[in-house]
Structure 1
């Protein structure tokens, strides 16, 4: 069964909407060094994580500069998973393995889809595969990471899904109108959206429900 993550949850109202709509995972974009209306403080993330039901995954989306920063944020917020939203850094990932071994926190690595070929991206994933539990493919932004709200070439993502043994989550410009085609084309483990279920920067009930229904119909 396809998994659906609703990212960029900012408050309890949006969290309730996502949970009621049937989200399998919810993401909290926490203290990232980017201008985004979805950025929240670590303290708010901590409070929201505590309200996530046991069978729904809470995901802390961060852009750390050191392993110590990852540990500090994980200890404070206690999420079920951490999404590293910076370019893959094997040394950093290696140094946070205790989070997986001792705390059971899953590690998801964002991989930007842009100028690199599927073969290059697959090699990148192979180099870090032992340190992570899943990859999230997002449209690349200058300087790395994703969160552009734009789609990319889904045929590239399909090639990566076919080549990697890790669960692959598809992101990048997905909304209730295009998610069916995205799932049929890529066949990912899961899909992820933030702005695609918003109206004027706020999560919207109809778009949330339609996104999740349309995604799961095909997955």
Structure 2
């Protein structure tokens, strides 16, 4: 069954909307060095994580500069998973393995789809595969990560799904109107959206429900 993550949750109202709509996972964009209306403080993320039900995954989306920063944020917020939203850093991933071994926190690595060739992307994933639990494919942005609100070449994402043993989550410009085509084309483990279910920067009930229903109909 396809999994759906609603990212960029900012407050309890949006969290409730996502949970009521049937989200399998919710993401909290925490203290990232980017100008985004979805950025929240670590303290707010901690409070929201505590309100996520046991069978829904809480995901802390971060852009760390050191392993120590990852440990500090994980210890404070205690999420079920951490999404590293910076380019793959082999040394950083290697040094945060205690989070997986001792705390059971899953590690998701964002991979930007854009200028890199398939061969380069496969090489990145292969090098870090033993240190992560899933890959999230997002449209590449300057400075790393994703969050552009734009789609990318889904045929490339499909090839990555077919070639990697890891669960692959598709992101990048997904909304209730295009998610069916995205799922049929890519066949990912899960899909992820933030701005695609918003109106004027706020999560909206109809778009949330439509996105999740349309995604799961095809997955």
TM interval, shorter chain, is over 0.9
Deviation at 1:203, TM superposition (A): 0.1
Deviation at 1:119, TM superposition (A): 1.7
TM-score (norm 1): 1.00
Deviation at 1:118, TM superposition (A): 1.4
CA distance in 2, matches of 1:58, 1:46: 10
Partner deviation per Cα, 1:141-178 (whole Å, 9 max, x = no partner): 01211000000000000000000000000000000000
CA distance in 2, matches of 1:185, 1:24: 21
Runs of 4+ in 1 over 2 A off after TM superposition: none
User: Which segments of 5 or more consecutive residues in structure 2 lack a partner in the other structure?
Assistant: none
Per the alignment, in what secondary structure is the counterpart of residue 79 of structure 2? coil
CA distance in 2, matches of 1:76, 1:143: 26
CA distance in 2, matches of 1:4, 1:118: 25
CA distance in 2, matches of 1:126, 1:143: 22
Partner deviation per Cα, 1:39-64 (whole Å, 9 max, x = no partner): 00000000000000000000000000
User: Which segments of 5 or more consecutive residues in structure 1 lack a partner in the other structure?
Assistant: none
Aligned residues: 219
CA distance in 1, matches of 2:13, 2:177: 24
Partner deviation per Cα, 1:60-96 (whole Å, 9 max, x = no partner): 0000000000000000000000000000000000000
Per the alignment, in what secondary structure is the counterpart of residue 215 of structure 1? helix
CA distance in 2, matches of 1:115, 1:206: 35
CA distance in 1, matches of 2:121, 2:159: 10
CA distance in 1, matches of 2:24, 2:143: 30
CA distance in 1, matches of 2:130, 2:182: 27
